[in-house]
Amino acid sequence: MSRRIRIVFLTLLLCAVPAAMPAQQVESLWISVTDTLRWQPGDTLQLSHQFVQDGSLSLQTITPYIQLKVASVDLRRGRVILSSIASTEGDSTAVLLTAAYRALPWSFPERFRRRLLVLRNDSTLGDSIRVAAPSQPLNMESIFGTELEKSGYIGRGFTVGSNRDLSINSGFRLQMAGKLSDDITITGALTDENTPIQPEGNTRTIQELDRVYINIAGRNMSATLGDFHLRYDDTEFGRYNRKLSGVLGEARHGSAQGAVSFATLNGTYHSLQFNGIDGVQGPYRLTGRNGEQPVLVLAGTEKVFIDGVEMVRGENHDYVIEYANGEITFTPKRLITAYSRVTVDYEYAEREYVRSMLTADVSGTLFDERITVGARYIREADDDDSPIDLDFDDDDRALLASAGDDAQRASRSGITWVGIDTARGTGAGQYVRVDTVIDGSDYAVYRYAPGTDSATYVLSFSFVGAGRGDYSRKTVGTFAFVGINRGDYAPLRLLPLPRLHQLMDVHMSAQPLKQLTLGAELGVSDRDMNRLSDADDGDNTGAAYRLSMNWKPESRRLGSFDVFARWRETEARFSPIDRINAIEFGRKWDLQSTAAQRERIAEGGAAWKPWSHTQFRASAGSMQRGEFSSLRVDGGITVQPGRQDSALPALAYTIEYIDSDDRPSDLRGNWLRQLGEATYDAGFAQPRLRVEQERRRSMMGERDSLLPNSLGFVDIRPGISFPAFWNMRFTADVGLRIEDAMLAGDLQRQSTDLLQIYGWELKPWQDLSSSVSITVRDRRYSDAFQLAGSKDLQTVLTRAQTRYAPLNGGLQTDLLYEVSTERTSRLQRVFLNVPYGQGNYEYLGDLNENGVQDEEEFELTRYEGDYVLLTLPTDELFPVIDLKSSLRVRLRPHRFIEEESRAPLWKSLLRALSTESFVRIDEKSEEESTSDIYLLKLSRFLNDSTTLRGFQNLRQDVFLFERSPGFSLRFRFDERRGFSQFALSSERSYRRERSLRAKTQLVREIGLQTDLIFMDDRVSSTIFSSRARDINSSNLIADLSYRPWSTLEIGFVLDTKSATDSYPDEAIEASITSLTLRSIASFDGPGRLRAEIERNDVSFSTEVDRFPFELTGGRAEGRSWVWRLNFDYRLTSFMQATVSYLGRSESDRDTIHIARAEVKAFF
């Protein structure tokens, strides 16, 4: 099987390369070769390359007075036969000559064969015989050589059982990188496995497990098939950055280059801007293009900016992101305030239509690279014949055709009357219609009440935007009326509009003089918001153009100059396909509106650098968008010493002034901004100072009274760093911010902020490493603003991490303490249906006959699960303090107490003793007294009214003779407490384990492990829950193993347990006995057989219909048998087979048989 796959893969690979190339790219594969050869009569000339181009061979003699005559040329093998030579004089027995020709850069063996006929001596017959001997196998090494590195596997198997159909299991993964020839390289990763697991967004780099691609690169061309990241950022209107799955071809010829790609789009690009919230580090939820949430963000596509500066992902950096629901949380390193301007660019999964993308890009240079020209075409389109998770009929298509570009018109009512369920005698729906009067008008309101007589309606809701709906979502599938236009959902079935977006970009740059560069760019877009409708198509097409000039004259006396000018004009209908403006474009021009209007921007400026370390700059510009106009000027100076020991500090100063006028709204504004920074490197210390000042005045008409967006502040922030102070690094920053805001038509003192940021890091030093960061911000409001409702605020962000391992590792201590303020949501439990046998929950049916799958109708199961439990966040967020802390102490005296032949008893006992202590406290609390959380006042933790989620764990292990193979003891105390507020209830849990484990080796062949466990397991809920329990149990487990030989082990396990659940009105007592016999045999070769049979006996003190899974560990009442067989065998050094069988027989149930088999080949 693996041989066939290799041959098919090789054939497809060789066919795909020329098929993906234009004729000129195939031509570029030929290389020019010149060989120097020695020929004697009767010899055949062997060229250094095969696959010689017909008509390209030219032979020239080096030996004088010799003339050659060619008899034949074998172009495939690179062989030349000379028929004769003519010598005018001299010796012609040995001739030196050169062969010049063109050939392909490939070389293949003469033949491939699996067997060779070889002569072997037969000792019986006393003669030699021909036998077939293995030859070099047909594989990648024999074809492409040893320079191709590869790893992976291919597997095929099946599963069949008496309670399930036959299913085929397959797996394939291949990673490769190397050279196919001297000029062609290949890299790739292939798999047929689907990995729907999103990577965690808490590290700086992300490993994409499901990326599948092949990249083949030559000297002048390359091709990528599969997943790739396409980036174009060399133009303004034609920027493009997407994660794609398809084909990408790139080629270069001389000074020209081009690329073509066709792919399916994995996501939709979107950009979101918002301001932070005082005292809230997150999570901040990303939304779709229509404001819908949550969204699934494609891993690694996000770019996060704060105040125009790009942030770095990672727990030890600026932010972490939960890709599954699009939530960003900023770490304590990056303080978020109401002044923080956050911008996020990202791609998210939008399951509406299959989307495709086509791009073509070409560029080149002319006249010794003085002129550069290029063109780019980008097309993104929804396939209206391939909707996802939707079924369209003719009426739906007609509705879409009449809707034009208005998504609200492409909707149907989501209200369906279903009547009475005659079997249950109650409503067949989940919602009750309530007729009422609102603001003097009749109105029908629908209330969620499944299982009632009046629940005769089924409603389907769609997100319509904040403030545009009448309902809000409480939990998954549950919606409540909140008032007309006070919600974000409506009982509608929205039909998504299939979209088409095209962009053509042409750009040119010219350098008529060495120091002068001219640029021009033209972009034309076509955006159809509904491909199925011709209505509203008059506004699809728009254009934009840009002109630029850059002049960089240099003078030895005056220094260097950099002069630029720029003009850009975009039509209102022009729709870029990616970001074309700077991150803080609106702030740059004091632009408030984002409405699409005709826009003109003119800018110019110059920078003068009289000395190598000093630069002066100034610029001015104007912008007009519709009836809005803005004028801005800015300037600055930068001093950057070139040597570390320079006596000059590094200085930077910038000043900006913006004057804006919005005629339709009669708004006027002016904005002055200044920023100065200074740093000085004194060697052991680096002091710094940052001063920022802004004053913004917005007015309406000729009146002097200010509008609410007026502001003013002064922010002074001195700081100092000690980069290398006794193997430590210390930083300290103190900030004072005085904020003015509009009150009573004028700017008045709003608040005073005092910010303190401290950081300390101890590099590994004598078994100790530690780091601490503390951020404290106090915002105090003035009396006038406190009367208006503002409240003083204090924010504390702390992270401390320490590791200490002295005494040769005999004492190991790990400490973590982290606290921040954020927002979090209550959770909800959702059960997701999965294939039979792949889940751990089963649905018991509609026990309360309300037509809804409620939580108490699911229970855990050991084998027959077809549901999994998901915990999802609800929509509403609550401000909380998030605390994470843990302490681990490991004590091993044998590492620092030396062994002595006649040691005192106390020293021997101390060497035999070792301990491990672990404490963990996590809390998300709404406690108003934040110091109670920061200082770990545990009486305020796990509180019914203030804790949203909390967890506490104390574990203490004491070991005796831990390292002894003959005898060892472990005493354990493990206590866990938890509390969670869910969407519909609250749940409190408690679990305590007290156990003793003894390991002994009775003789060399016989070992015994005994566990005595006392367990308390309690769960309580504010509503009826199938999870509620109060179990006390005692458990004895004895595991006896007998190993007469190293290849055979026989084991016997006795497990007896007595448990009582006191939660029901009548306590349930359970007695469980389990006997297990196992045998493990290892063969001389790479094989292993494991057989196991288990008998379980479960009895109760009273008859019960349902009992907690935890009471018996999922075992059914009565006697049950389970037998298992597993066989692993390595067929060859790279091939392994696995066969397993599981059978079980439970009381009052049919016997179940399940068999699995799989073969894997590794390479």
pLDDT in tens, 598-626: 999 999 999 999 888 889 999 999 999 98
First-last CA distance in the chain: 13
Angstrom distance (rounded) from CA 820 to CA 800: 12
Give the count of beta carbons closer than 10 Å to the beta carbon of residue 788. Answer: 13
- Mean pLDDT check: name the lowest of 80-89, 808-817, 1082-1091: 80-89
Q: Which of 726, 694, 699 is nearest to 712 (CA)?
A: 694
Residues in the chain: 1163
Question: Cβ(99)–Cβ(47) under 8 Å?
Answer: yes
Angstrom distance (rounded) from CA 325 to CA 327: 6
Checking DSSP bridges between strand 768-781 and strand 746-765, what pairing results, if any?
Answer: antiparallel
What confidence tier does 1045 reach under pLDDT thresholds 50, 70, 90?
Answer: confident
Angstrom distance (rounded) from CA 46 to CA 748: 93
Region 562-575 average pLDDT:
94
Secondary structure letter of residue 200 according to DSSP: P
pLDDT of 5 above 70: no
Q: pLDDT digits over 330-361, tens only?
A: 988 889 998 899 999 999 988 888 889 999 99
Q: Phi and psi dihedrals of 510, rounded to 5?
A: -135, 150
Please name the residues in contact with 1045: beta carbons below 8 A apart, sequence gap of 6 or more.
none
Q: Is 583 exposed, middle or buried (0-12, 13-18, 19+ CB in 10 A)?
A: buried
What confidence tier does 16 reach under pLDDT thresholds 50, 70, 90?
Answer: very low
Q: Which of 25-29, 493-497, 988-992 has the highest mean pLDDT?
A: 988-992
pLDDT of 80 above 90: no
More confident of the two residues 323 and 38 = 323
CB-based contacts of 939-948 (< 8 A; 24+ apart in sequence): 942/977, 942/978, 942/979, 942/988, 943/979, 944/979, 944/986, 947/923, 947/979, 947/981, 948/824, 948/826, 948/878, 948/880, 948/924, 948/980, 948/981
Angstrom distance (rounded) from CA 728 to CA 768: 12
Token pair belonging to 762: 């101890």
Question: Cβ(572)–Cβ(651) under 8 Å?
Answer: no
Please name the residues in contact with 552: beta carbons below 8 A apart, sequence gap of 6 or more.
515, 560, 561, 562, 563
Q: Which of 56, 59, 11 is nearest to 32 (CA)?
A: 56
**What is the b/e burial string over 935-953, where b = at least 16 CB atoms within 10 angstroms of the residue's CB?**
eeeeebbbbeebbbbbbbb
Q: Which of 120-124, 342-346, 1063-1067 has the highest mean pLDDT?
A: 342-346
What confidence tier does 232 reach under pLDDT thresholds 50, 70, 90?
Answer: very high
Token pair belonging to 77: 């093998």
Question: Cβ(975)–Cβ(995) under 8 Å?
Answer: no
Secondary structure letter of residue 1116 according to DSSP: P
Three-state DSSP class for 1162? Answer: strand
pLDDT of 138 above 60: no
Strand partners, 381: 356, 500
Please name the residues in contact with 1163: beta carbons below 8 A apart, sequence gap of 6 or more.
2, 150, 151, 152, 153, 154, 174, 1134
Tell whether the torsion through CA atoms of 89, 94, 98 and 103 is positive or negative: positive
What confidence tier does 19 reach under pLDDT thresholds 50, 70, 90?
Answer: very low
Angle of CA points 437, 442, 447, to nearest 5°: 70
- Mean pLDDT check: name the lowest of 1-15, 185-199, 1093-1107: 1-15
Location of structure tokens 């000039």? 549
What confidence tier does 65 reach under pLDDT thresholds 50, 70, 90?
Answer: low
Angstrom distance (rounded) from CA 472 to CA 606: 54
Q: Phi and psi dihedrals of 684, rounded to 5?
A: -75, -20
Q: Where are the domains of the chain?
A: 30-103, 145-154+165-265, 268-349, 414-488
Token pair belonging to 149: 């590195």
Token pair belonging to 813: 């201590």
pLDDT of 12 above 50: no
Q: Which of 59-68, 327-336, 550-559, 872-881 has the highest mean pLDDT?
A: 327-336
Angle of CA points 741, 304, 280, to nearest 5°: 50
Angstrom distance (rounded) from CA 658 to CA 61: 80
Angstrom distance (rounded) from CA 922 to CA 943: 13
Angstrom distance (rounded) from CA 1052 to CA 1075: 7
pLDDT of 502 above 90: yes
Q: From the centroid of its chain, how far is CA 187?
A: 23
pLDDT of 785 above 50: yes
Token pair belonging to 375: 């063109």
Checking DSSP bridges between strand 341-348 and strand 353-366, what pairing results, if any?
Answer: unpaired
Angstrom distance (rounded) from CA 1055 to CA 1076: 8
Angstrom distance (rounded) from CA 49 to CA 106: 8
Question: Cβ(382)–Cβ(499) under 8 Å?
Answer: yes
Token pair belonging to 626: 């519709």
Three-state DSSP class for 407? Answer: helix
Q: What is the pLDDT of residue 644?
A: 57
Q: Which amino acid is at 342?
A: V
Strand partners, 829: 871
Question: Cβ(743)–Cβ(757) under 8 Å?
Answer: no
Question: Cβ(1163)–Cβ(156) under 8 Å?
Answer: no
Q: Which of 431-440, 958-967, 991-1000, 1038-1047 has the highest mean pLDDT?
A: 991-1000
pLDDT of 554 above 50: yes
pLDDT of 498 above 50: yes
pLDDT of 289 above 90: no
Q: What is the DSSP string of 2-51?
A: HHHHHHHHHHHHHHHHHHTS-HHHHHTT-EEEEEEEEE-TT-EEE-S-SS
What confidence tier does 163 reach under pLDDT thresholds 50, 70, 90?
Answer: confident
Question: Cβ(99)–Cβ(37) under 8 Å?
Answer: yes
Strand ranges, E, within 932-1005: 947-960, 967-981, 986-1003
- The alpha helices in 813-929, defined as continuous H runs, are 905-912
Give the count of beta carbons closer than 10 Å to the beta carbon of residue 627. Answer: 11
Angle of CA points 571, 572, 574, to nearest 5°: 65
Angstrom distance (rounded) from CA 645 to CA 829: 62
